[in-house]
Amino acid sequence: MKTDNLQYLVITPARNEEAFLELTIQSVMKQTVRPVRWLIVSDGSTDRTDEIVTRYAAQHDWIELFRMPERQTRHFGGKVLCLNTGYARIKDLPHDVIASLDADITFEPAYFKFLLDKLASDPQLGLVGTPFSGDGLTYDYRYS
């Protein structure tokens, strides 16, 4: 299967990510292969996260904000709930691949094309990703 034929959706859980979100949005906007839809699920953000997403969504019809109710605590279960809620909202759009993207990372313009190429070249793959760095540490979780 050719990469050009693969369509993908991106779901980003975001809770109070105003410090990093705009850089993530810029990274996705520069992709050589654009997603069918990028749903940013605000997990009850109390900062400017929703405002930032709304500004970009008004200019790009493939970016969408969905707001979850505000919660008092931050925990991993909230992220899973955002992913599941987000997928339920966009699952009927055409797609071959679903991407889960954190709201606080940046990457090169061919990042998603690279991942799609990996999936297209090996139909046995069900999950792809890359090493990442943060706070001076590099994480390189590879599946064999």
Amino acid at 81: L
**Res. 141: pLDDT tops 90:** no
Q: What is the DSSP letter of 33?
A: S
Q: Decide if 143 contacts 63 (C-beta within 8 A).
A: no
Mean pLDDT of the chain: 89
**Res. 143: pLDDT tops 50:** no
Rounded to whole angstroms, the Cα distance separating 128 from 88 reads: 22
Q: Decide if 13 contacts 78 (C-beta within 8 A).
A: yes
**Res. 102: pLDDT tops 90:** yes
Mean pLDDT value of segment 120-139 = 78
pLDDT at 81: 92
What the block records as the tokens of 27 is 């990274």
Q: Decide if 68 contacts 41 (C-beta within 8 A).
A: yes
Q: How far is CA 53 from the centre of its chain?
A: 13
pTM: 0.88
